[in-house]
Amino acid sequence: MSTILFMVAVALILSITFVVSYLWALSSGQFNDLDTPALRILKDDILKGTERKNHEQQ
């Protein structure tokens, strides 16, 4: 019995925490931009060939 009460309390606290943190995430703009992060990783930003040589000589 005491285990059940304990678990119910834990479940309540957890679910409230989740709702609150979700609302916070939504209102603080955590979900504002869901496109660019996925695209940004595709760009390599590396130096190759002559570009690299020129850069290294600077």
Site residues for another protein per CB under 8 A: 3-4, 7, 10, 14, 25, 28-35, 37-42, 44-48, 51-52, 55-56, 58
Tokens of 27: 């209102």
Taking every pair of Cα atoms in the chain, the longest distance, rounded to a whole number of angstroms, is: 75
For residues 31 and 25, the answer to whether their CB atoms sit within 8 Å is yes
Shortest distance, position 38 Cβ to another protein, whole Å: 4
Shortest distance, position 17 Cβ to another protein, whole Å: 9
Name which of 7 and 12 has its Cβ closer to another protein. Answer: 7
User: Distance (Å, rounded) from C-alpha 12 to C-alpha 45?
Assistant: 47
